[in-house]
Amino acid sequence: MFHKRMNRWRVPKGAELTEMDKKILYYQNKGCLVPTRKLIKTPEQIEGIRRSGVINTGVLDLVEENIHAGMSTAEIDKMVYDYTVSHGAIPAPLNYEGFPKSVCTSINEVVCHGIPSEDEILEEGDIINVDVSTILDGYYSDASRMFIIGKTTPEKEKLVRVAKECLQVGMEAAKPYCFVGDIGNAIEKHARKNGFSIVRDLCGHGVGLEFHEEPDVEHFGKKSTGMLLVPGMVFTIEPMVNMGTWEVFIDEEDGWTVVTEDELPSAQWEHTFLMTDNGLEILTH
Ligand code: MF3
Ligand code: CO
């Protein structure tokens, strides 16, 4: 039985070691999980992802301006599709592993991967996550926001706020040459402190050249565990915060919709980030 081999940081024969090589080799020799070279984006790739992110943000801004009680989630899907293609891009979810629509719309107890539908009408008091992902010239970006439809309960308002804070707290925990676990640790602490739980079955991810790349970015865990994060890496942080239990199930009928086990509400915010020498830069602002 073979284990999945740990990534190996390779330096071309004869090449002089850069400061980055030295740091990565130091952690590799300690047995830490390190990135492969492919996960460190070139300046050209970063520019491509940045341009993709601009369109992705445009989509979310458009949704923010137009979302209202009485509209269907299919109308959101149409807005996303039309804006994206008219800007020369492709909605990444469309046909991704069989996903049938251009965007994920996840209302109340739906954690993520909700499928837009004509029959699903937004109601006063709903909280909804709209998760938008864009491919431009082969470069991927990925971000989501929560929207409160009209006025909701103080509990749901708090959930939406704390989920946003969790993203912020995770972002601040991410320093160059930290580990994925440092981010997750900070996020889970913040959720717990507020009486909420963190979904464990879904995580953030590397992104840019593909929709989902290494590393897995878990939103819980121990400091100094998981992959080493070095400048040039691009990944999402997207904590899913539940009012009740962290446990979830997948709707059997559609095979996609992720729902909280206790059917209490869930909230999520997501950005695509670039690790720089000074910490994270948001590419989906
Ligand atoms: N946008 C989701 C993420 O943040 C992935 C959605 S996959 C889809 O990773 F197929 F449901 F679109
Ligand atoms: Co994502």
Rounded distance from Cα 92 to ligand 1 centre (Å)? 8
Predicted pLDDT of residue 256: 98
Going from the Cα of 285 to the center of ligand 2, the distance in angstroms, rounded, reads: 15
User: What number does the ligand 1 atom closest to the CA of 98 have?
Assistant: 10
Domain at 38-282: CATH code: 3.90.230.10
Q: How many CB atoms lie within 10 A of CB 68?
A: 12
Q: What is the pLDDT of residue 67?
A: 99
Ligand 2 center–CA 204 separation, angstroms: 5
Checking if the pLDDT of 3 tops 70, the result is no
Residue 285: what pLDDT?
A: 96
Of ligand 1's listed atoms, the one at least distance from the Cα of 256 is 11
Q: Render pLDDT for 100-150 as a digit per residue (tens, 0 to 9).
A: 999 999 999 999 999 999 999 999 999 999 999 999 999 999 999 999 999
Q: Looking at residue 1, what is its pLDDT? A: 64
- Which ligand 1 atom minimizes the distance to the CA of 101? 12
Q: Is the CB of 104 under 6 A from ligand 1?
A: yes
Does residue 96 have its Cβ closer than 6 Å to ligand 1?
yes
Residues with CB under 5 A from ligand 2 (ion): 142, 236
The predicted structure's pLDDT at residue 80: 99
Q: In 3D, which of 280, 277, 249, 256 has the Cα closest to residue 109?
A: 249
Whether residue 272 is predicted with pLDDT greater than 70 in this model: the reply is yes
Confidence check: pLDDT of 74 > 90: yes
**Every domain of the chain and the residues it spans:** 38-282
| b/e code 231-240 from CB counts within 10 Å (16+ = b) | ebbbbbbbbb
Residue 209 tokens, joined:
């050249």
pLDDT digits (tens, 9 = 90+) for 202-246: 999 999 999 999 999 999 999 999 999 999 999 999 999 999 999
Q: Which of 56, 103, 106, 131 to mutate to test the pocket of ligand 1 (most atoms within 8 A of CB)?
A: 131
Which of ligand 1's atoms lies nearest the C-alpha of 238?
4
**Interval between CA 271 and ligand 2 midpoint (Å):** 8
Q: Considering the chain, what is the average pLDDT of its residues? A: 98
How high is the pLDDT of residue 232?
98
pLDDT of residue 35: 98
Above 70 in pLDDT, residue 2? no
Of the candidates 197, 136, 134, which has an alpha carbon nearest to the alpha carbon of residue 162?
Answer: 197
Q: How far is the CA of 209 from the centre of ligand 1 (A)?
A: 15
